[in-house]
Amino acid sequence: MMADKSLHEMFSFTLDMEKDNVVIPVCEDVAVEEAYREEYAFLSEKGIFTGKSGEVYTTLDAARKGVLIFIGLGKEKSVNLEQVRKAGFKAAQELSSNKVASACMMISKLSGLCYRETTKAWVEGMLQSAYTFDKYLAKKKNHTGLEMSFFIKEGKEDKVKSAIAETINLMDAVFLARDLVNEPAISLTPGSLAVIAEKELTSLGVEVEVLGRSSAAELGMAAFLAVAKGSSEEPKVIIMRYKGDKESQRLLGLVGKGVTYDSGGYSLKPKDSMVTMYDDMGGSAAVIGAMKALALNDVKRNVTAVVLATENMVNGEAYKPGDIIGSMAGKTIEILSTDAEGRLTLADALHYIITKEKVDEVVDIATLTGACVVALGEQMSGAFASDDELMKRVKNAAEKSAEPTWQLPLNEEYRELVKGTRSDLKNSGGRWGGAISAAAFLREFTGDTPWVHLDIAGTAYLTAGKGYLPKGATGTGVKTLYNLALETPESGCGCGEKN
């Protein structure tokens, strides 16, 4: 957890000072800066370091009383932003393992990439190296922090300065989401999630409204409350309103699944699948993180987010398989599995945000189905849409964020899977196509409002670290939802350069 020190305190990025230690990004097919040509010629001749992507070589620079860290980027034309992030991550790790707390680096223009986006990727990669969740360890990991100076072409400084600040804020929000997901359910309850959302967002000018069980009942959230019945923790409705653009009427809606613990209920999960089910509020962490990033960066957009937070537990009052429950939208639902609880909470959240908050379009994000993990692994999130244009914007935002998604179908035929016999709907469509039938269930609650559903069951929490992503919580969705809010039909990166 980063609670003791903020990212802004741990990292500084300036654009002027020369430092003793130098990071030298190298493309295998481009001449190295004059000053390091001799060292590089030696390394490449011996085949020690040739600038290939992923290579790193550190050497003492006696003359300058510092270290030189060569970082490989591969062939110049093929370098993309993700490789830059990875190189930044490697560079920061290498600096830290060499106990180096300050360094400088030249940021060069790469084919097809603008200075602004390239700088953001360097900064993000470096910041990615700073995350740990060590609050429950007696011996804390030692994060030293880093003072970086970038050299950049004259005239481009102002463009990258704001990009640096924006990226630190965004990563701060990603780390908040990770902390929320990594926190065990014994301390991260619906109540404490609501308190954290209030604490993190209110001071930034986001309006946060929290409702308890009785207000949820008054609103008619019968599906949500059925899930909550089995828990002694009071369920919470968390509504977050960010008004960054008072002149505009346009309102984006975000909904995040906020099941702070999923035991499966009476359709109890096998014991091993239950261990990590404190991560079942990954969707809510993503929307809270995105709201924080928007507010920190003063983004000129209007966004409202809703989280219906509850535990899915077992007690004498819990809902049961075979029950028929209502919903805020008025549709009745037969419970085939109390473990298909996420879609019940999302059904009411979607109906609420569309009818009461009057959003123009809505994206929900949820650790919804094991079937999605079977289909796409931990590499990609599943995406579903009722609207192609919104899907396109979500895909763009996800790609820009290096949070890959893969669209799965949602044809009319899949509706059959969730049609009820004793009731309007049933909450499980069975094993086959389980990620799709879950989406088909949600579709019944979104009407004509453009809607995209992201299933992050595989990507919110990793069983092993992957590149710059740590084992455990990834904070996936924060960057995508933030970039989605920024996205406009004609938006480029906004730096004014051709690319």
Nearer to ligand BES, 126 or 223 (CB): 223
Nearer to ligand BES, 304 or 367 (CB): 367
Name the residue type at position 224: F
| Residue 434 binding result from ligand BES, Zn ion, Mn ion, none, given CB thresholds of 5 to 8 Å by partner type | ligand BES
Q: Smallest distance, Å, CB 463 to Zn ion?
A: 17
Nearer to Mn ion, 262 or 444 (CB): 262
Is residue 15 close enough to count as binding ligand BES by CB under 6 A?
Answer: no
Residue with tokens 């019968």: 222
- Stretch 341-380: interaction string toward Zn ion, x if CB under 5 A: -x--------------------------------------
* Cα distances (angstroms) measured from residue 95 to each of 62, 66, 124, 148, 472: 17, 11, 15, 11, 24
Member of 216, 295, 305, 340 binding ligand BES (CB under 6 A): 340
Asked if 245 and 302 touch (Cβ cutoff 8 Å), the reply is yes
Rounded CA separation 263/284 (Å): 18
Nearer to Mn ion, 267 or 304 (CB): 267
Query: Rounded to the nearest 5 degrees, what angle is found at the Cα of 109, between the Cα atoms of 103 and 113?
Result: 115
Number of residues that bind Zn ion (CB under 5 A): 4
Element (H, E) at 137: none
| Residue 26 binding result from ligand BES, Mn ion, Zn ion, none, given CB thresholds of 5 to 8 Å by partner type | none
Q: How many residues does the chain have?
A: 499
| Residue 337 binding result from ligand BES, Mn ion, Zn ion, none, given CB thresholds of 5 to 8 Å by partner type | ligand BES
Contact window for ligand BES (CB under 6 A) among 28-36, 108-116, 168-176, 369-377: 369-377
Is residue 371 close enough to count as binding ligand BES by CB under 6 A?
Answer: yes
Instruction: Measure CA 211 to chain center.
Output: 25
Rounded CA separation 174/331 (Å): 36
Rounded CA separation 413/197 (Å): 39
Asked if 119 and 105 touch (Cβ cutoff 8 Å), the reply is no
Nearer to Zn ion, 166 or 262 (CB): 262
Member of 55, 117, 179, 262 binding Zn ion (CB under 5 A): 262
| Residues between 188 and 247 with contacts to ligand BES, criterion CB under 6 A | none
Which of 75, 269, 320, 392 is labelled catalytic?
Answer: 269
Rounded CA separation 349/240 (Å): 13
Q: Smallest distance, Å, CB 231 to ligand BES?
A: 14
Which of 85, 343, 443, 479 is labelled catalytic?
Answer: 343
Give the dihedral of Cα atoms 146, 96, 129, 112; nearest 10 deg: 70
Q: Smallest distance, Å, CB 280 to Mn ion?
A: 7
Q: Is 343 a catalytic residue?
A: yes
Nearer to ligand BES, 367 or 446 (CB): 367
**Strand partners of residue 407:** 383
Q: What are residue 187's phi and psi, to 5 degrees?
A: -110, -20
| Residue 457 binding result from Zn ion, ligand BES, Mn ion, none, given CB thresholds of 5 to 8 Å by partner type | ligand BES
The closest alpha carbon to 312, from 359, 368, 362, belongs to: 368
Element (H, E) at 425: strand 425-426
* Cα distances (angstroms) measured from residue 31 to each of 25, 40, 76, 105, 161: 11, 10, 11, 16, 27
Instruction: Measure CA 293 to chain center.
Output: 11
Q: Smallest distance, Å, CB 398 to Mn ion?
A: 24
**Strand partners of residue 472:** 462
Q: Buried (b) or exposed (e) across 110-139, using 16+ Cβ within 10 A?
A: beebbbbbbbbbbbbbbbbbbbbbeeeeee
Rounded CA separation 272/293 (Å): 35
Is residue 455 close enough to count as binding ligand BES by CB under 6 A?
Answer: no
Residue 16 in marked binding region? no
Is residue 339 close enough to count as binding ligand BES by CB under 6 A?
Answer: yes
Residue 257 in marked binding region? yes
Residues near Mn ion (CB under 5 A) = 262, 339, 341
Is residue 74 close enough to count as binding Zn ion by CB under 5 A?
Answer: no
| Residues between 74 and 133 with contacts to ligand BES, criterion CB under 6 A | none
* Cα distances (angstroms) measured from residue 405 to each of 235, 380, 397, 456, 458: 30, 5, 10, 9, 11
| Residues between 82 and 111 with contacts to Zn ion, criterion CB under 5 A | none
Residue 339 in marked binding region? yes
Q: Which residues bind Zn ion (CB under 5 A)?
A: 259, 262, 280, 342
Binding-site residue set: 257, 262, 280, 339, 341
Binding-site residue set for Mn(2+): 257, 262, 280, 339, 341
Q: Which residues are catalytic?
A: 269, 343
Q: Which residues bind ligand BES (CB under 6 A)?
A: 262, 280, 337, 339-342, 367-371, 373, 428, 434, 457
